[in-house]
């Protein structure tokens, strides 16, 4: 008998996370490293596990995540988004709880591009009348 695997892609800022989920014992592996090793900050660990805690599925799935791009906080947000989408693929009835908590909405805030003739996206060079 083949095990059913669930796949979802999560995004945040410029980070993209590919989440592979299967029923198991609660193993969480990020880029072939342990979850605690990859995300050292406690706040990021809590952020990532929010979708599992909201649905009461913590410890029921083995999660294998490939994440790249952006910084550590953006990657954590992308993993959270991916886990939430994978849970919906596993059970469509979880969608209402996850949607209400705001885990299925992609945070679309990204860095604004730098404009030519300026030092940054919004910053201007000092104006001199004379």
**By the 8 A CB rule, do 4 and 22 touch?**
yes
Tell me whether residue 119 is exposed, middle or buried, using C-beta atoms within 10 angstroms of its C-beta: 0 to 12, 13 to 18, 19 or more: exposed
| Number of neighbouring beta carbons within 10 Å of residue 7 | 13
Segment 18-38 shows an average pLDDT of 94
Task: Count other C-beta atoms under 10 Å from residue 103's C-beta.
Answer: 21
Q: What does the pLDDT read at residue 130?
A: 86
pLDDT at residue 50 tops 80: yes
CA–CA distance, 130 with 110 (Å, rounded to integer): 37
Beta bridge partners of 18: 9, 66
Residue 2's pLDDT band (cuts 50, 70, 90)? low
Residue 2 CB coordination number (10 Å): 4
**Prediction pTM value:** 0.90
5-100 is classed CATH 3.30.70.3270: no
Residue-wise pLDDT tens digits, 64-123: 999 999 999 999 999 999 999 999 999 999 999 999 999 999 999 999 999 999 999 999
Q: Are 57 and 87 in contact (CB under 8 A)?
A: yes
């Amino acid at each position: 008998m083949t095990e059913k695997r669930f796949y979802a892609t999560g995004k945040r800022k410029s980070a993209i996370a590919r989440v592979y989920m299967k029923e198991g014992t609660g193993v969480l592996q990020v880029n072939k490293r342990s979850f605690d090793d990859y995300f050292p900050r406690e706040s990021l660990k809590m952020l990532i596990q929010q979708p599992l805690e909201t649905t009461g599925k913590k410890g029921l799935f083995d999660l294998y995540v490939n994440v790249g791009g952006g910084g550590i906080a953006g990657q954590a947000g992308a993993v959270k988004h991916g886990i939430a989408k994978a849970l919906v693929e596993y059970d469509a009835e979880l969608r209402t709880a996850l949607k209400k908590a705001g885990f299925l909405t992609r945070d679309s805030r990204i860095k604004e591009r730098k404009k030519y003739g300026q030092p940054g996206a919004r910053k201007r060079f000092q104006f001199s009348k004379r």
